[in-house]
Structure 1
Amino acid sequence: MQLYNTLSAKERAALIEEAGKERLTLSFYQYAHIGNPEILRNHLFITWDKLDVLGRIYVAKEGINAQLSVPAENFEAFKEHLDSISFLNGVRLNIAVEQDNKSFLKLKVKVRHKIVADGLDDHTFDVTDKGVHVDAEGFNKLLDDPNTVLVDMRNHYESEIGHFKGAITPDVDTFRESLPIIEDDLKAHKEDKNLVMYCTGGIRCEKASAYFKHKGFKKVFQLEGGIIEYTRQVENKDLENKFIGKNFVFDERRAERISEDIIANCHQCGKPCDTHINCANEGCHLLFIQCEECAEKMNHCCSEDCKDIVALPYEEQKSLRKGKKASNKIFKKGRSSVLKFKS
């Protein structure tokens, strides 16, 4: 029984182009108590592979986190399958603001210890005991309340290119780093302030809302559906958009433009820019912000060393990176010392 991909990303991209069919990029999550994640993982892979679903899905004992694309013609069958699973019946689906048929090129369903790594080892903490969900209209009203503290639960490289006006944007690399920082900074306001949180699609601030309730915060709110759903509601209901810049997304698109504001800068020259790229040197692959001029000058690389490497024959490049891992550098996400403006 096939429980893994048989095609490479390049082969899959060619098939998608050849098929010429529209695909929908979407995401969803659900916290729940899952007894055997491995069984659910296998069931999802077998069923979704038949529907030509592609994406990155994590399953754990605390729930599921899915970012994927599905052929538009198979969407109803996909939704029917979700509704057949008790804890996913009626789950909210966040449809991407900007669509791209090649947002995902493989189907990866993995079992993880947690769907959002939090660094916590507290068995009295119930992730399903969440804060109050608010829609875009309710969120805007809370932001107009002077008694509200707004916190971005995303990482620094996400909030750098876009965030809500007036939000606290912790300078962190991971979600787990943000929890103790926020708790310490706001501990004097556990009783009196509205603690309002947001993230990309809702999954991180939902866990955070449950955590801060567990820590004694009394007025805890989260933006339902995150920035993705907020943008949709703002457009559909003609509401004021309080988000500036781009929303960072974790697929081939890297970001969705929400407003015309450019609030970030090229990490190499400092020019206003909010376009993330990965260094063209596959042995580096660093994520950083690069303007068109620097991209041309640096051949889409983060440094002169990487530029020299990508100029070499491909086989020589492979030989240079053999046995080396770039993951630690990748997750610096723009903090590398080679980026003159950022550093």
Structure 2
Amino acid sequence: MQLYNKLSAKEREKLIDEAGKRRLTISFYQYYNIEAPEIFRNELFVAWNELDVLGRTYVANEGINAQISVPAENFKAFKSHLDSISFLNGIRLNVAVEQDDKSFLKLTIKVKKKIVADGLDDDSFDVTNKGVHLGAKDFNDIIAKEDTVLVDMRNHYESEIGHFKGAITPDVDTFRESLDIIEEDLREHKDDKNLVMYCTGGIRCEKASAYFKHKGFKNVYQLEGGIIEYTRQVKDEKLDNKFMGKNFVFDNRKAERISDDVISVCHQCGEPCDTHVDCANDACHLLFIQCPSCAEKMENCCSEECMEVNRLPLEKQKELRRGKPMDGMNFSKGRSKHLKYKK
């Protein structure tokens, strides 16, 4: 029974090109008490591998969180498989706004302690006592009210390239950090303000809304399905779009454009830009915003130091990387002393 990937990312990319078939990028989540997550994980891998599903999925005792790519021709079979699982029957699937056949290049399903790293003690509050879910129309209506506070529950590198008009965007690296900041900043308005939250697909707001209700906030709301579902409803119902810029996504696309607004700048030269890249130096891989001009000038690197390393022979680069992370930047998100125009 195959429970792991046999192909490398490059081999998979070649197969996708040769197949020439359209794929759909999809995300979904569900909080549910899974008693044997390891067994459930293995069953998912076998079934999804047969359907050529690719992507990254986390399974835990508390539920499932999936970001995946499915061949369009296998979508019905995939949906039927989900419907055969009691707690996933009829689940809402967030279909990406912008499709890319190579959004994911391998199938990874991991058993985790939690499906979102929130750092919370779930036994200390009722995680099922969630806020009111809002569709796009009701969301637009409530955020227009003076007694509403709109909060972005995502991290700094996500909100930097796109967010709702008038939203509070905490300058945080993790979801857990934002919870304490929001509670402190809004502690005087627990009774007289509507606390409305949003995130990419809704999963972070599920936990955050219950947390803030536990902390005494009386009027807690969350955007149903997050930015992804909001965008679909806005298009289908011809509503006024209140989101500016791009929606950051956690796959090879890195973002999908929601509006024509470019609200961020290149971190190296300060020119308007909202394209996230990973530093080409394998010892760094810093995620940052880089315009085409700087990409050419800096050879797709975040700094001159990384550019010099990246010019070395591969064997020399590997030798330098052994046990010596560069400046603590490995796989960090947009924070570096080298980025002059990072807000």
Same-fold call, TM > 0.5? yes
- In the other structure, the counterpart of 2:333 is 333
- In the other structure, the counterpart of 1:250 is 250
Counterpart contact for 1:287–1:330, Cα < 8 Å: no
Amino acid at match of 1:108: T
- In the other structure, the counterpart of 2:199 is 199
- In the other structure, the counterpart of 2:118 is 118
Structure 2, unpaired ranges of 5+: none
Give the deviation of 1:325 after TM superposition.
4.6
**May I ask how many residue pairs the two structures share in their alignment?**
343
Query: What are the Cα deviations for residues 57-85 of structure 1, in whole angstroms up to 9, with x where unaligned?
Result: 00111111000001011100100010111
Give the deviation of 1:93 after TM superposition.
0.3
Q: Does residue 306 of structure 1 match 2:311?
A: no
Amino acid at match of 2:118: D
Change over 3 Å in CA distance of 1:128–1:164 after alignment to 2? same
- Distance in 2, matches of 1:257 and 1:324, equals 37
- In the other structure, the counterpart of 1:157 is 157
Structure 1, unpaired ranges of 5+: none
- In the other structure, the counterpart of 1:167 is 167
- In the other structure, the counterpart of 1:27 is 27
- Distance in 2, matches of 1:10 and 1:66, equals 22
Q: Does residue 102 of structure 1 match 2:102?
A: yes
- In the other structure, the counterpart of 1:137 is 137
Q: What SS does the aligned partner of 1:27 have?
A: strand
- In the other structure, the counterpart of 1:81 is 81
- Distance in 1, matches of 2:329 and 2:309, equals 16
Query: What are the Cα deviations for residues 15-54 of structure 1, in whole angstroms up to 9, with x where unaligned?
Result: 1111111100010001112211111111111110111000
- Distance in 1, matches of 2:129 and 2:324, equals 43
Amino acid at match of 2:126: D
- Distance in 1, matches of 2:295 and 2:194, equals 43
Change over 3 Å in CA distance of 1:335–1:47 after alignment to 2? same
What pairs with 1:224-239 in structure 2 (closer than 5 Å)? 224-239=224-239
Give the deviation of 1:119 after TM superposition.
1.3
- Distance in 1, matches of 2:178 and 2:331, equals 16
Q: What SS does the aligned partner of 1:123 have?
A: helix
Q: What SS does the aligned partner of 1:66 have?
A: strand
Amino acid at match of 1:156: H
Give the deviation of 1:327 after TM superposition.
11
Q: Which moved more, 1:205-214 or 1:286-295?
A: 205-214
Query: What are the Cα deviations for residues 75-124 of structure 1, in whole angstroms up to 9, with x where unaligned?
Result: 00100010111111111100000000000001000011111111122413
TM-score (norm 2): 0.97
Counterpart contact for 1:196–1:220, Cα < 8 Å: yes
- Distance in 2, matches of 1:169 and 1:12, equals 37
Percent identical pairs in the alignment equals: 73
Counterpart contact for 2:152–2:198, Cα < 8 Å: yes
- In the other structure, the counterpart of 2:216 is 216
Give the deviation of 1:331 after TM superposition.
4.7
Q: What SS does the aligned partner of 1:329 have?
A: coil
- In the other structure, the counterpart of 1:63 is 63
Give the deviation of 1:311 after TM superposition.
1.4
Give the deviation of 1:309 after TM superposition.
1.4
Amino acid at match of 1:18: E
